[in-house]
């Protein structure tokens, strides 16, 4: 009798454990909140391919492009239409938190989704033309402190977008006042902005380090600082950080994912673990090298705390320059 009871207990325990286990079955969707070819599209397609290679999904991940409102259409769709769906991932980045911070996604907020993890980042830079009189970041910031309108910046985002905010983050940390007076010129993309700087029409460039690679290689653009915690590896190791120059400015354009609300704890944990597995894999390290992504990884609660802190910081800064009331 005792043996039968023990066997019965083992059978029940085994069944309970197997019942608690969750893994995706059938179609897994990754929503890219933009048209094909952009950063969010890259995030979905490249991560989806690595998931397949690592057997984390039962079949190919389907990328769904859902452009509109700078990611707002996809965010609203996830909140209103996909609640509780456990096989839906949505690509996100610092652009997502910037728009949430500035109230550009009406009626929704960061608490309405699950933040799963980040798998790399493209770090911000501040750069000048090769013959610029500014030799380092402190000298450029000193000019702004003396006269906020003395240095014109060019970037590939709209006014109040992430490229613009990177300048303001650095200026604020350097003690520059009257941040709204700093001139920022918006161009269609980083390439156009850099062309204006190299041509001598604008004083400085603000953008991400990977988009500046060509102008850096040609010697036409000189990077004064990268907005990372420490120097970046490889070909970027010679570029000083803002932090080591006494200006504690950080600007990571991270790449990551959120999911719909009301999913099970088991499903959420599966995708959190999947992100950890992807980040540590040789396959993903190769993707990062090929596409200029730098080390940046957070998962679960740490990532959610980071996202919400970033939103609050951007909201405060945006309010200071009059973009948020």
pTM of the model: 0.87
Phi, psi of 118 (to 5 degrees): -120, 145
Distances in whole angstroms, Cα of residue 156 to Cα of each of 127, 206, 207: 14, 8, 7
Q: Pick the closest to residue 123 from 305, 288, 315, 294 (CA basis).
A: 294
Residue 110 in contact with residue 303, Cβ under 8 Å?
Answer: no
> What span, in angstroms and rounded, lies between the C-alpha atoms of 31 and 72?
12
Domains of the chain, residue spans: 25-121+253-320, 127-245
CB 56 within 8 A of CB 274: yes
**What does the pLDDT read at residue 33?**
95
Q: What per-residue confidence (pLDDT) applies to 8?
A: 43
| First-residue to last-residue Cα distance in the chain | 73
How many CB atoms are located within 10 Å of the residue 63 CB? 22
pLDDT of residue 210: 87
Strands 29-32 and 88-93, sheet pairing: parallel
Please state the three-class secondary structure of the chain as a single string.
Answer: CHHHHHHHHHHHHHHHHHHHCCCCCCCCEEEECCCCCCHHHHHHHHHHHHHHHCCCCCCCCEEEECCCHHHHHHHHHHHHHCCCCCCEEEEEEHHHHHHHHCCCCCCCCHHHEEEEEEEEEEEEEEEEECCCCCCCHHHHHHHHHHCCCCCCEEECCCCCCHHHHHHHHHHHHCCCCCHHHCCEEECCCHHHHHHHHHCCCCCEEEEECHHHHHHHHHCCEEEEEECCCCCCCHHHCCCCECHHHCCCCCCEEEEEEEEECCCCHHHHHHHHHHHHHHHHCHHHHHHHHHHCCEEEEEEHHHHHHHHHHHHHHHHHHHHHCCCCC
To which residue do tokens 């599209």 refer? Answer: 41
Per residue of the chain (325 residues), give pLDDT as tens.
434 444 444 444 433 333 448 999 989 999 999 999 889 999 999 999 999 999 999 999 999 999 999 999 999 999 999 999 999 999 999 999 999 999 999 999 999 999 999 999 999 999 999 999 999 999 999 999 999 999 999 999 889 999 999 999 999 999 999 999 999 999 988 999 999 999 999 999 999 998 898 999 999 999 999 999 999 998 899 999 999 999 999 999 999 999 999 999 999 999 999 999 999 999 999 999 998 899 999 988 999 999 999 999 999 999 998 888 8
**Cα distance between residue 293 and residue 119, in whole Å:** 9
Find residue 258's DSSP bridge partners: 90, 115
Q: What is the pLDDT of residue 148?
A: 96
CB 40 within 8 A of CB 33: yes
Residue 292: count of CB within 10 angstroms of its CB = 18
Q: Which two tokens stand for residue 234?
A: 């490889």
Domain spanning 127-245: CATH 3.40.50.720: no
Do the domains at 25-121+253-320 and 127-245 have one common CATH topology?
yes
| 233, two tokens | 């590896």
Distance CA 310, CA 312 (A): 5
5: its two tokens: 């009871």
CATH topology (fold) of 25-121+253-320: D-Maltodextrin-Binding Protein; domain 2 (3.40.190)
Please give the pLDDT value at position 59.
Answer: 94
């Amino acid at each position: 009798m005792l043996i039968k009871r023990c066997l019965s207990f083992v059978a029940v325990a085994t069944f309970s454990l197997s019942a608690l286990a969750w893994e995706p079955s059938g179609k897994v969707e990754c929503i890219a909140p933009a048209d094909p070819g952009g950063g969010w599209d890259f995030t979905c397609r490249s991560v989806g391919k690595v998931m397949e290679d690592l057997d984390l999904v039962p079949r190919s991940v389907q990328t769904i492009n859902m452009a509109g409102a700078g990611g707002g259409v996809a965010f609203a769709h996830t909140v209103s239409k996909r609640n509780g769906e456990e096989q839906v991932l949505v690509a996100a980045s610092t652009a997502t938190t910037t728009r949430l911070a500035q109230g550009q996604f009406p009626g929704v907020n960061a608490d309405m989704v699950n933040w799963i993890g980040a798998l790399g980042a493209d770090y911000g830079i501040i750069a000048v033309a090769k013959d610029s009189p500014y030799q380092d970041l402190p000298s450029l910031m000193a000019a702004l402190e003396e006269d906020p309108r003395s240095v014109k910046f060019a970037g590939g985002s709209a006014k109040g977008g992430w490229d613009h905010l990177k300048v303001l983050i650095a200026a604020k940390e350097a003690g520059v006042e009257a941040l709204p007076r700093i001139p920022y010129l918006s161009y269609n993309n980083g390439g156009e902005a850099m062309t204006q700087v190299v041509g001598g029409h604008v004083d400085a460039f603000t953008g991400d380090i990977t988009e500046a690679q060509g102008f850096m290689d040609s010697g036409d653009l000189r990077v004064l600082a990268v907005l990372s915690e420490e120097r970046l590896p490889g070909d970027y190791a010679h570029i000083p950080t803002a932090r080591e120059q006494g200006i504690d400015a950080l600007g990571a354009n991270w790449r990551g994912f959120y999911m719909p609300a009301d999913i099970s704890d088991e499903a959420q944990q599966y995708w959190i673990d999947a992100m950890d597995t992807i980040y540590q894999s040789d396959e993903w390290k190769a993707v990062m090298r090929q596409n200029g992504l730098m080390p940046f990884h957070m998962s679960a609660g740490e990532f959610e705390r980071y996202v919400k802190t970033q939103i609050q910081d951007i909201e405060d800064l945006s309010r200071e320059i009059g973009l948020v009331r």
